[in-house]
Amino acid sequence: MNTPLRRVSLAVMVLILLLLGQATWIQVVKADEYRADPRNARVLLDEYSRQRGQISAGGEVLAQSVQSPDPGDRLRYQRQYTDGPLYAPVTGYYSQIYGAGGMERAMDPVLNGTDDRLFVRRISDAVTGRDPAGGNVVLSIDPRVQRAAYEAMTSRGYQGSVVAIRPQTGEILAMVSTPSYDPNPLASHSGTTQQNAWNQLTEDDPPTLTNRATSETYPPGSTFKIVTTAAALEAGAITPEAPVTAAPRITLPDSTTTLENYDGKPCGPGASVPFATAFAKSCNGPFAQLGAQIGADRLRAMAVSLGFENPGLTVPMPVQASRLGDMADGASTAQSSIGQRDVRLTPLQNAQITATVANGGVPMTPTTVAQIQGQDLSTVESTEPDRLARAFSQSTADTLTQLMIGSENNGSGQGRIPGVQIASKTGTAEWGANPKTNPPHTWYDAFGPVPNPQIAVSVIVERGGNRGEEATGGSVASPIGRAVIAAALGSGS
Amino acid sequence: MTRPTAPGAQNGAPGIDRPADRTALRPAVAAAVSTRRGVELALLALAAVITTGALVLVEANQEQELTWALLYLGAAYMALLALAHLAVRKFAPYADPLVLPLAALLNGIGLVMIHRVDLARIARAVSLGNEEPAQEALRQVGWTAIGLVFFVGVLWLVPDHRTLARYGYTAGFAGLILLALPAVLPASLSEVNGARIWIRLGPASIQPGEFAKILFVVFFASFLVVKRDLFTSAGKHFLGMTFPRPRDLGPLLVAWGVAMAVLVFESDLGTSLMFFGIVLVMLYVATERISWVLIGLTIFGAGAFAAWTFVSRVQIRVSVWLDPFADYNGRGFQVSQGLFGLATGGMGGTGLGAGRPELVPFASTDFIFTSLGEEIGLVGIAALLLIYCLLATRAMRSALAVRDTFGKLLAAGLGFAIAWQVFVVVGGVINLIPNTGITAPFVSYGGSSLVANYALVALVLRVSNAARQPSTEKRPGTPVPGQGQAPLAPLAEASTEMVSRDQVRTPPHGGVRQEAGAPPDPAPRGRTRGE
């Protein structure tokens, strides 16, 4: 009976070896993956023992870690947000229980000090005996523009988003999402406070935690006509003077469905109007026909070169990809050409389109980070403007600018800035299951001043703001866009 | 057995003629066979030093005040162990010197980790403004004391492990009652976190399954001693193995039935797996037939599959095992958190007191291994697993060395029980097998487990004492000159004989039995027991 005893001893060793093997698998092979999992709160807790870097913009500190006022607190540093709701879409939150969001998450390695770019400074901290601390992030956000955009939206009780970009560099000057939230309770060291805040925020309707500028996609409506026109101009399919249909409704190609102008009125007194007039009045028929004429492929190529269908974009927060839909037949291509059907884009994408026109056809990589600093505020790295491949020619850009000036001057002009020429396009997008009865989303894409644009902005006001079904981009969204441009120019930058 | 004698017998100079007066031999034997109790004491001191050192690290990392009280705690722990050591000296002087220190070290590390989780729970309660929870570590120290009382009690009350063979059926019956009790009791008294394996009596809860484990090993050892000839003699050759006759499958089927009943009525995969695994291994050791294991695994597999099909709790455990992160916020939370903890610890661990083991639910009981894995890393876990391995194989070694069949089966069963329980619980928390919810022997917080395992270790020591004790009184045959040590070989194979001292000088059986590993003796081996 000793043979089986020996075998059982061997089996015992095999069992222990199996355990050791699995422990090695978890603690060595899978260790990095599990350690970095956002649901693993340990790393976060660890970070509270070091001073996390600050997030600042235009000399204002937006987020910083200060010594916890409670001496018995096991977490040494308390994260604080100045003007929380104003900057929350950019800064994000930093929660012990719920992880981090926004910039706090995207720039986490810098803020917690583990980024390779801070390596030399870490060494010097260790040598000089200074407490290890994270690096700082300086944003490209212009506090005056951000505040103007936020206040313009919230003072009217609007729900939506504003994104402003400096056309020549791609720097994001404002990124607003309303209604917003205060990240301070989420950073509380009291678990109950965090839980209550989180439970409330996740149930908010309309949602507050979502950064609409980057994480929400909307039908662009007529603002997409900029893309359609750019593609048509590049293809030589249209000129501003070319006559186009003035009919109040057209029949879509390959189908019996009709498409009518927004108000159901004709575009002009005669059978045709110049294309520039159709652009200024945003008549749907000519653009649907134009889109169908140049075809889905050209339309898609233009949209992609402007940033559509890019799931990997980060600013450095990840940005939801903007999509065109499949545009399988002529009818859907025609509907897509006026920004309906399956076209969905983020407010950031719309601002990027506008900025590209303002920058003469060259899109710049958008970003919110201007600088990375060490613990001592010395510059470690500055973001250099990054040119992307030209989307359309300078002459197309010039023509689009003139068309958009025509559009701007055709509108009601609420909040017009004396002495500043703005080029713009409005949009009124139907959405949802009952597009005719839902209050539409209203858009305003604009840049100015022409001829030397300092800022390109895209505004979306969801559900028509307070105008209900009567809302249009011109009446609801444009005053906000103009206020943002005014703030940017007033700032002297 | 390649070497036909037990170490004790070798040292006992077996070739010489024995003097008629046994008392006259005693001093000579004592001089020849070292009891190695000094080694045990030194190792116990080492265990106490390691435990105290670990405690100091925890306190330092938790920024608690370092006081001399820590040293007193270490000294008190050492004193408790010293008392156990004295009991071993008195009641089992030839016992294996490694077993008690290994158990004590595991116990000590467990206490430190339970204390460390206490600190975290208290800090959390304070930050949430709740009442401070009771310190589990203090209770566990109490349970350690009670466990050591059991330990000494078993050594004292069981002077010879073979006496236990008489109570085989009693033990089996008691074990069955203990195992079945939680299923019969109302859920309010027996259910904790979905598994009905408890008996809750006011503040004290006991897990009767821990004690049932030992009782079943005793029962099966005595049962198999009597019946093993039956199991080994008859059967059919098939696929190169000898399969038992269907009618001999009865005991296995009963064990299977019990395991399945536990699974279904108590929703406890762990106890079920524990119980059946031990039975299978003991059957295999007794019969030397791998076919028993295959049959057992087959029917257990079938039963487990059926349970997986019909019992939702088992389904949940399996689906969490397959992908712990699929239902992260729900059922997979505990295992996922455990894996996060282990991964964060990585190779070297965060350091004792420097991790966040409290993020895992049940950090001091079922999931204490993830707490340890986080703070002492893969290196520390590997060390602990090797300690378990050593503990189990020391029991196996005693089984090899002891000369009676009952002792062999008892020690093998107990040794395997330790290793198997470790495999089931640690495998569960590190997601090698579905998580089951039983405790890690000696390390986890939990009174029943600790007390039962100290009793278990006492039995192992009792068997190892018999194995190493100079066997002058029990040697059945006078060595025949010229045959060397051959007559000793049958002893290793002999079943339990309760022989009175008057009978000692008469061999209870004649002839030389074949060694293990050789083809089984075709003749029936039924033998009379001199009870």
Dist. CA B405–CA B492, nearest whole Å = 7
pLDDT at A181 over 90: yes
The answer to whether A389 and A304 are in contact (CB under 8 A) is: no
A395 shares contact with chain B (CB less than 8 Å): no
Q: What is the pLDDT of residues A272-301, one digit of tens each?
A: 899 999 998 888 888 988 998 998 999 999
Q: Closest by alpha carbon to A308, among A360, A343, A356, A358?
A: A343
B467 shares contact with chain A (CB less than 8 Å): no
Instruction: Please state the domain extents for chain A.
Output: 219-345
Q: What is the pLDDT of residues B8-17, one digit of tens each?
A: 444 444 444 4
**Residue B416 backbone phi and psi in degrees, to 5:** -65, -35
More confident residue, A180 or B269: A180
pLDDT at A437 over 90: no
Residue A9 C-alpha, separation from nearest chain B C-alpha, in angstroms? 6
Dist. CA B290–CA B287, nearest whole Å = 8
**C-beta atoms surrounding B65 within 10 Å:** 7
Dist. CA B254–CA B266, nearest whole Å = 17
Q: Which residue has the tokens 């916890």?
A: A68
Looking at chain A, which residue has its C-alpha nearest residue B328?
Answer: A39
pLDDT at A445 over 50: yes
**C-beta atoms surrounding A8 within 10 Å:** 23
- Spatial neighbors of B454 by CB under 8 A, at least 6 apart, are B103, B147, B148, B150, B151
Which pairing describes strands A136-139 and A369-373: parallel, antiparallel, or unpaired? antiparallel
The answer to whether A120 and A113 are in contact (CB under 8 A) is: no
- Give SS3 for A342: coil
B171 shares contact with chain A (CB less than 8 Å): no
* Contact call for B388 and A16, based on CB within 8 A: yes
pLDDT at B452 over 90: yes
Question: CA angle, corner B73, sides to B70 and B77, nearest 5?
Answer: 145
List the single residue in A23, A40, A72 with the smallest CB-CB distance to B340: A40
The mean-pLDDT minimum among A45-59, B256-270, B280-294 falls in B256-270
Q: What is the pLDDT of residues A423-433, one digit of tens each?
A: 999 888 888 77
> Which of B339, B359, B409 to mutate against chain A (most A CBs within 10 Å)?
B339
> For chain A, how big is the Rg over CA atoms in Å?
27
Question: In this predicted structure, what is the pLDDT of residue A73?
Answer: 66
Burial of B44 (0-12, 13-18, 19+ CB in 10 A): buried
pLDDT band at A469 (very low <50, low <70, confident <90, very high): low
A196 shares contact with chain B (CB less than 8 Å): no
| Mean pLDDT, residues B468-478 | 58
pLDDT at B97 over 80: yes
More confident residue, B417 or A493: B417
Dist. CA A315–CA A303, nearest whole Å = 19
First to last CA, chain A: 91
| Report field, pTM of the whole predicted structure over 0.80 | no
More confident residue, B227 or B91: B91
Q: Hey, which bits of A38-197 come out as E strands?
A: 55-57, 60-67, 77-81, 94-95, 99-100, 136-139, 160-165, 172-178
- Tell which B residues from 214 to 253 touch A, by Cβ distance under 8 Å: none
Q: How many residues does chain B have?
A: 531
B493 chain-A contacts, CB cut-off 8 A: 1
pLDDT band at B180 (very low <50, low <70, confident <90, very high): confident
A190 chain-B contacts, CB cut-off 8 A: 127-128
Q: Closest by alpha carbon to A11, among B297, B43, B140?
A: B297
- Tell which B residues from 502 to 521 touch A, by Cβ distance under 8 Å: 515-517
Question: In this predicted structure, what is the pLDDT of residue B475?
Answer: 44
Question: In this predicted structure, what is the pLDDT of residue B1?
Answer: 37
Distances from the Cα of A144 to the Cα of A358, A488, A492, angstroms: 21, 7, 11
Residues above pLDDT 90, as percent of chain B: 30
The mean-pLDDT minimum among B121-125, B154-158, B210-214 falls in B121-125
pLDDT band at B407 (very low <50, low <70, confident <90, very high): very high
Q: Closest by alpha carbon to B271, among B263, B282, B283?
A: B263
Residue B133: cis peptide before it, omega within 30 degrees of 0: no
Q: Closest by alpha carbon to B106, among B465, B456, B467?
A: B456
pLDDT at B409 over 90: yes
Question: CA angle, corner B375, sides to B372 and B380, nearest 5?
Answer: 60
Mean of the per-residue pLDDT values for chain A?
Answer: 87
Looking at chain B, which residue has its C-alpha nearest residue A188?
Answer: B127
List the single residue in B288, B389, B427 with the smallest CB-CB distance to A12: B389
Dist. CA A215–CA A314, nearest whole Å = 11
Dist. CA A398–CA A379, nearest whole Å = 38
pLDDT at A367 over 80: yes
B126 chain-A contacts, CB cut-off 8 A: 72
Dist. CA B449–CA B454, nearest whole Å = 9
* 3-state SS record for B329-386: CCCCHHHHHHHHHHHHHCCCCCCCCCCCHHHCCCCCCCCHHHHHHHHHHHHHHHHHHH
pLDDT at B2 over 60: no
More confident residue, A361 or B73: A361
Sequence-ordered alpha helix ranges (H) in A156-241: 191-203, 212-215, 225-234
Q: Closest by alpha carbon to B288, among B244, B222, B336, B238?
A: B244
pLDDT band at B483 (very low <50, low <70, confident <90, very high): very low
More confident residue, A373 or B494: A373
- Spatial neighbors of A473 by CB under 8 A, at least 6 apart, are A221, A222, A223, A426, A427, A428, A442, A443, A444
A98 chain-B contacts, CB cut-off 8 A: none
pLDDT at B98 over 90: yes
First to last CA, chain B: 28
Q: Which residue has the tokens 């109007």?
A: A273
pLDDT at A197 over 50: yes
Question: In this predicted structure, what is the pLDDT of residue B201?
Answer: 65
pLDDT at B517 over 50: no
A24 shares contact with chain B (CB less than 8 Å): yes
Q: What is the pLDDT of residues A112-144, one digit of tens each?
A: 887 888 877 767 766 665 666 788 999 999 999
| Mean pLDDT, residues B247-273 | 75
* 3-state SS record for B62-101: CCCCCCCHHHHHHHHHHHHHHHHHHHHHHHCCCCCCCHHH
Q: How many residues does chain A have?
A: 493
Q: Closest by alpha carbon to B418, among B292, B211, B274?
A: B274
Mean of the per-residue pLDDT values for chain B?
Answer: 78
What single DSSP character describes residue A204? -
A31 chain-B contacts, CB cut-off 8 A: 342-344, 346-347
- Tell which A residues from 27 to 86 touch B, by Cβ distance under 8 Å: 27-28, 30-35, 37, 39-43, 45, 72-74
- Spatial neighbors of B203 by CB under 8 A, at least 6 apart, are none
Q: What is the pLDDT of residues B369-406, one digit of tens each?
A: 999 999 999 999 999 999 999 999 999 999 999 989 99
| Mean pLDDT, residues A77-98 | 90
Question: In this predicted structure, what is the pLDDT of residue B84?
Answer: 94
Q: Residue B135: left (phi > 0), alpha (psi -120 to 50), or beta?
A: beta
Note every long-range contact of B17-20, with CB atoms under 8 Å and residues 24 or more positions apart, other chains counting: B17/B478, B18/B472, B18/B475, B18/B478
- Give SS3 for A230: helix
pLDDT at B187 over 80: no
The mean-pLDDT minimum among A180-189, A441-450, B159-168, B198-207 falls in B198-207
- Superfamily the domain A219-345 falls into: DD-peptidase/beta-lactamase superfamily (3.40.710.10)
Dist. CA A458–CA A226, nearest whole Å = 13
pLDDT at A412 over 90: no
Q: What is the pLDDT of residues A31-54, one digit of tens each?
A: 888 888 877 878 767 777 778 899
Question: In this predicted structure, what is the pLDDT of residue A392?
Answer: 94
List the single residue in B347, B408, B422 with the smallest CB-CB distance to A1: B408
**C-beta atoms surrounding A376 within 10 Å:** 12
Dist. CA B439–CA B270, nearest whole Å = 9
* Contact call for B288 and A3, based on CB within 8 A: yes
Q: Residue A346: left (phi > 0), alpha (psi -120 to 50), or beta?
A: beta
Tell me: ipTM over 0.90.
no
Question: In this predicted structure, what is the pLDDT of residue A132?
Answer: 67
Note every long-range contact of B359-363, with CB atoms under 8 Å and residues 24 or more positions apart, other chains counting: B359/A41, B359/A42, B360/B334, B361/B333, B361/B334, B361/B337, B362/B334, B363/B117, B363/B120
- Spatial neighbors of A345 by CB under 8 A, at least 6 apart, are A217, A218, A220, A224, A308, A322, A323
| Mean pLDDT, residues A18-28 | 94
A40 chain-B contacts, CB cut-off 8 A: 340, 343-344
pLDDT band at B497 (very low <50, low <70, confident <90, very high): very low
Question: Which of B73-87, B98-112, B340-354 tops mean pLDDT?
Answer: B98-112
| Mean pLDDT, residues A77-83 | 90
Q: Hey, which bits of A384-450 come out as E strands?
A: 423-429, 441-448
Looking at chain B, which residue has its C-alpha nearest residue A74?
Answer: B123
